[in-house]
Amino acid sequence: MAGWTPECAMNEASPAGAPPAPVAVSLTPNQRAWLRFRHHTPAMLSLAFLAILLLVVLFGPFFLPHHPDALSETQCAPPSAQHWCGTDLHGRDLLARMIHGARVSLMVGAVGAGVSLVIGVLWGAIAGYVGGRTDELMMRAVDILYSLPSIVFVIVLITTLEQLVTAVLGHAGIGLSARLLFLFVGLGAVSWLNMARIVRGQVLSLRRRPFVEASLALGASHTRILARHILPNVAGVVMVYLTLTVPSVILYESFLSYLGLGIQPPMASWGSLIAEGARQLNPIRVYWWLLVFPCGMLVATLLALNFLGDGLRNALDPRAGE
Amino acid sequence: MYLLKRIVFLLPLLLVISFLAFVLVRLAPGGPFDKERKPAAPEIERNIRARYHLDEPLWKQYLRYLGLGWETGPDGQRKLFQGGLVRGDFGPSLRYRDHSVNDVLGQGLPVSLTLGFLAFLVAQGIGLPLGFLCAIRQGRWQDHLGSFIAVLAICVPGFVMVPLLIMAFAIHWRWFPPALWESPSHAVLPALALGFYFSGRIARLMREGMLGVLKSEFIVTARAKGLSETAVLLRHALPLGILPVVSYSGPLLADLLTGSFVVENVFQIPGIGVFLVNSSLSRDYPMVVGLVLLYAALLLVLNLLVDLSYGWLDPRVRHE
């Protein structure tokens, strides 16, 4: 992927009669990247943490004794053997709510990053590959969007989408899942700017490389060059920034839910749980568990994702970090 | 010449941004008068809309907002638009009826500027030394610990930091007041909460910038000449190593100076950060456009300053 260099191309293109390259020690670039990644301890630990988190989030609810929306008599109870993380203002089990909230937060991260990936890579690749006036125009658009505060954009986007869908579906009223979808799309739509810039920069420099020019001279079509030469070479960097976009989207969703714009009750995400905990702050009684556990879970996940990104960058783009 | 060209380009850019913001907030469904105490009779609402010229076509509203052009009065006389952006008037607030956007900015901006600048100092004060230390101790335990702290800071956003800080330092230990904006001690927790998150980014940029510079040939030369390590690091490496931080500081400062919703909301600080979110939600059109313009103008000017400081810090960069 990122290790694919013009030298490799020359090896492939060497005449059949040439002596074969030594085979015994040669690893593919992907194998070498994996080797580098495995030696990055924080990244491996993070990968393990995220895998466990994913398992818990997917299958945990089947084993939990409490339903996330079940009310009980024990309101704001501190952590105990029965409620491991305590209960909230309505007596709901905090652990169950956190795990359900994790579903939302992780899904938002994945889908939002996916949306930003598609828009960002397409925008950046087209701008960088076509170049000239198109490039200039597309990048100025990115600059202008960059100088609009994204929160305004998100609010407008989410409410507009909501109205559009309500208009299309008639008076059926939109379900919670539809609202979630807007959140995903809205978040993805404001987080692609950096991706576009990075991809454009990469494509711009790749386009001038000898192996691309050689390929052009040999009569390859633009589609083929993009698909075979440009995109595989960009993939490493894109991958790295994707892992860094996931935490920033999760963060943004938490922020919006904290404002009350994202997830609507009784659903929960980490952001709305933290907001709930913050609302219970008062000088008389401190319900620390309502804050510490959701905050801890959010921070731990973001940490893991960031370390994962570092490890990937180390592995896929060795020139960038060190 | 370069400077002149950049400054000339600022105005059309701001115009485009103001137009985009102007159209964008009006595209959103709902209007500024939806949340009145009781649903107003249609003719009352029509009157209110007419009073704020919201019934006019969009282009005319925009020209009126800019203050360029004229209208024909009922008596058939042409008269120029009054106020408008060209005369430094951001228009009336549709939500806070007795106030103009200028009033709100005039009251809130000094507070937000103070808080934002303090937070900027916190971010740089933690981030720069941390990143520097990591870079000169690369690969050792100081580097690992420092880098961990930097990543941790990036993972603790304001809305996590704020309630935790209040719980610990205002409620449990009672060292600092939990809210309001009166004495210097009121500024400690908000500035810390706002600045800490960004210190992590600064530390990482600083570390990478310094590492890149420390490998270059002129550093080897400087050491070979027998310069002391302090002189090599501070006089030769630092001005170049800090460049990534400098270019990040432009957007960062613009961001911080225009206030933060969470921090101002929770600490009940009368800044302008709260207004950006609230006015977008309540469709207070002139307020949104005014705040967006303020942010954009700050961002563009600060980015210009950043680019200029490049030439000063890095002798290889000279603007034609």
Quick one: closest CA in B to A257, which residue?
Answer: B159
For residues A71 and A210, the model is more confident at A210
Q: Which of B168, B224, B83 minimizes the C-alpha distance to B232?
A: B224
Contact A101, A88 (CB under 8 A): no
Name, of A311-320, B75-84, B268-277, the range with top average pLDDT.
B268-277
CB contact under 8 A, A307 and B151: yes
pLDDT band of A13, cuts 50, 70, 90: very low
| B171 contacts A286 by C-beta, under 8 angstroms | yes
pTM: 0.83
Asked if the model's pLDDT at residue A318 lies above 60, the reply is: no
pLDDT of residue B128: 95
Of A1-5, A100-104, B22-26, B214-218, where does mean pLDDT reach its minimum? Answer: A1-5
| pLDDT greater than 50 at residue A300 | yes
Bridge partners (DSSP) of residue B100 are: B92
What confidence tier does A173 reach under pLDDT thresholds 50, 70, 90?
A: low
Say yes or no for a CB contact (<8 Å) between B13 and A303: no
User: CA of A259: which chain B residue's CA is closest?
Assistant: B262
Asked if B151's CB is within 8 angstroms of A148's CB, the reply is: no
Q: What is the pLDDT of residue B145?
A: 93
**Mean pLDDT, to the nearest integer, of B85-114?**
84
Q: Are A294 and B167 in contact (CB under 8 A)?
A: no
> Can you give the pLDDT at residue B64?
79
**Residue A52 pLDDT class (50, 70, 90 cuts):** very high
Q: Let me know: does A142 contact A197? Beta carbons within 8 Å.
A: yes
Q: Which of A258, A269, A285, A314 to mutate to test the interface with B (most CBs of B within 10 A)?
A: A258
Which residues are B72's β-sheet partners? Answer: B78
Facing B151 at nearest CB: one of A282, A292, A303: A303
pLDDT in tens, A29-44: 778 888 888 888 888 8
Does B24 contact A298 at a Cβ distance shorter than 8 Å?
A: no
- pLDDT of the residue at A176: 60
A-chain residues near B168 (CB < 8 A) = none
Q: Is the pLDDT of residue B127 over 90?
A: yes
pLDDT score at A7: 42
Q: What is the DSSP string of B112-129?
A: HHHHHHHHHHHHHHHHHH
Going from the C-alpha of A66 to that of each of A54, A86, A101, A269, the distances in angstroms are 19, 12, 14, 17
Confidence of residue A225 (pLDDT cuts 50, 70, 90): confident
Is pLDDT above 70 for A8?
no
- pLDDT greater than 70 at residue A17: no
Q: Which residue has the higher pLDDT, A15 or B261?
A: B261
Residue of B nearest to A164 (CA): B29
* High-pLDDT (> 90) share of chain A, %: 10
Average pLDDT, chain A: 79
Mean pLDDT to the nearest integer, B204-216 = 90
* pLDDT of residue A129 exceeding 60: yes
Q: How far is B24 from chain A (nearest CA, A)?
A: 7
Which residues in chain B (301-320) have CB-CB distances under 8 A to chain A?
none
pLDDT at A57: 87
Higher pLDDT, B55 or B202: B202
Residue carrying structure tokens 């490389």 = A209
- Identify residue B131 by its one-letter amino acid code: G
Q: Closest to B29 (Cβ–Cβ): which among A160, A259, A291? A: A160
Residue B186 has pLDDT above 50, yes or no: yes
Encode pLDDT of B7-57 as tens digits: 888 888 888 888 888 888 888 777 777 665 556 677 777 777 777 777 778
- What separation in angstroms does the CA of A103 have from each of A53, A114, A270, B19? 10, 16, 10, 39
Residue B311 has pLDDT above 90, yes or no: no
Indicate yes or no: CB of B28 within 8 angstroms of CB of A159: yes
Q: How far is it, in rounded angstroms, from Cα A273 to Cα A62?
A: 21
Please report the pLDDT score of residue A24 as a whole number.
55
Mean per-residue pLDDT for B218-232? Answer: 88
Highest mean pLDDT among A3-7, A12-16, A171-175, B74-78: B74-78
Judged against a pLDDT cut of 60, whether residue B231 lies above it is answered with: yes
pLDDT-derived band at A1 (thresholds 50, 70, 90) equals very low
pLDDT band per the 50, 70, 90 thresholds, residue B235: confident
Give me the pLDDT at residue B39, please: 62
Percent of chain B with pLDDT over 90: 19
Using pLDDT thresholds of 50, 70 and 90, give the confidence band for residue A6. very low
Report the residue from A160, A275, A282 with minimal CB separation from B27: A160
Phi/psi of residue B189, each to 5°? -65, -45
Q: Report the pLDDT value the prediction gives residue B131, as an integer from 0 to 100.
A: 94
User: pLDDT tier at A174 (50, 70, 90 boundaries)?
Assistant: low
Question: A120 falls in which pLDDT band (50, 70, 90)?
Answer: very high
Q: What is the 3-state secondary structure (H, E, C) of chain A?
A: CCCCCHHHHHHHHCCCCCCCCCCCCCCCHHHHHHHHHHCCHHHHHHHHHHHHHHHHHHHHHHHCCCCCCCCCCCCCCCCCCCCCCCECCCCCEHHHHHHHHHHHHHHHHHHHHHHHHHHHHHHHHHHHHHCHHHHHHHHHHHHHHHCCCHHHHHHHHHHHHHHHHHHHHHHHCCCHHHHHHHHHHHHHHHCCHHHHHHHHHHHHHHHCCHHHHHHHHCCCCHHHHHHHHHHHHHHHHHHHHHHHHHHHHHHHHHHHHHHCCCCCCCCCCHHHHHHHHHHCCCCCCCCHHHHHHHHHHHHHHHHHHHHHHHHHHHHHCCCCCC
Which of A82-86, A228-232, B249-253 shows the lowest mean pLDDT across its residues? A82-86
